[in-house]
Amino acid sequence: MSHASHIPTGRSRNLRTIYREDRTVKLIDQTRLPGEIVLVDCQAPDVLCEAIRTMRIRGAPALGVAAAYAMALGAETGPTDPAALQAYLGDIAGQVRATRPTAVNLFWGVDQALDALRDTESEVDAMREALWACADRLADDDVRRNQRMGEVGAELIPDGARVLTHCNTGSLATVDWGTALGVIRAAHRSGKQISVLVDETRPFLQGSRLTAWECAQEGIPYTVITDNMAGHFMARGEVDLCIVGADRIAASGDVANKIGTYSVAVLANAHGLPFYVAAPASTVDLALETGAEIPIEERNPTEVLEFGGVRVAPEGATARHPAFDVTPSRLVTAIITEVGILRAPYELALDRAVKLAVIGVS
């Protein structure tokens, strides 16, 4: 079961995107922002899975943690026989993996939970506690890694820079702090006078609804632009660099990110601008050689045919809605991770980064 609660906007900066109180998982409903801050309480795995499918929670790192919490909720609602619970959790793992196919962190979160199960005795209470502990650990670790990523990447943003970003990569896309927007946040807090051009990010408007809201909360100067304005501002010399997040990075360094990212990368390359990607090492999928192997989620075309819930296309019109695209590594200037700034050849750099990340960030 679940229910929603409203909270005062003044508390928003103190909230994690997803957290738990006892055996209830709470998350900020991102479909209600920026108009209102609503918390959704999840007490069963199917409720959390539905929140993932409907983008009440989104962003690769946040989805990894949400996946682990869904497994913990499954242990709470599943059978009390250890063998039956193991089988039930296998089914829950499949349901979680099926929610959204592109963000590898989702699958990583499930795998982390299953690994935690293997380390326990076959006793239900121990299984439950292990899963809650695993999810809590991933949540806390996500914050540390993102903050470290911000520190690492801030050096790439010069004082006075005009930064273009796409989609939402801030606290809302993670447990807290953010990836690409976390780098911008770190540069801003260090005293650099920077400003941000925020792509609106059609059709779900993660930029104009979420990134703009986070910039306003942080006091970072920003301007919202439509996605098709990026080239115009680059040509006028009003962009100094681009920085985006990632939902999956192949071994080659090819990057899957929100639809429209590839266009930004091509434009940045054409104008000689740096194009940076910020993502934790958990977003790297060394099992896939190139971006051509990354599964691309196709969402409901209604989200393209409508704007704000109001249909804008003619009746009978058809649409396509790939939620992500792939940017080839040749267009990526550098990849910012919690273990350092990676540059080509990415095959070697990414392999090393994944190994270093296992050691952890203090």
Task: Decide: 297 and 101 in contact? Cβ < 8 Å.
Answer: yes
CA distance 63 to 56: 11
Task: Decide: 59 and 177 in contact? Cβ < 8 Å.
Answer: no
Residue among 142, 176, 199, 247 flagged as catalytic: 247
Task: Decide: 214 and 179 in contact? Cβ < 8 Å.
Answer: no
CA distance 52 to 96: 9
29 given a catalytic annotation = no
CA-angle at 233, arms to 230 and 237, nearest 5°: 135
Task: Decide: 260 and 166 in contact? Cβ < 8 Å.
Answer: yes
- How many residues are recorded in the chain? 362
Peptide bond into 203 cis (omega under 30): yes
CA distance 256 to 60: 11
User: Which residue has 């249909």 as its token pair?
Assistant: 311
Instruction: Using alpha carbons, select from 50, 40, 88, 49 the residue that is nearest to residue 68.
Output: 49
341: tokens are 């700034």
Task: Decide: 325 and 262 in contact? Cβ < 8 Å.
Answer: yes
User: Which residue has 């993660």 as its token pair?
Assistant: 206
Q: Which amino acid is present at 236?
A: R
Catalytic positions, written as ranges: 247
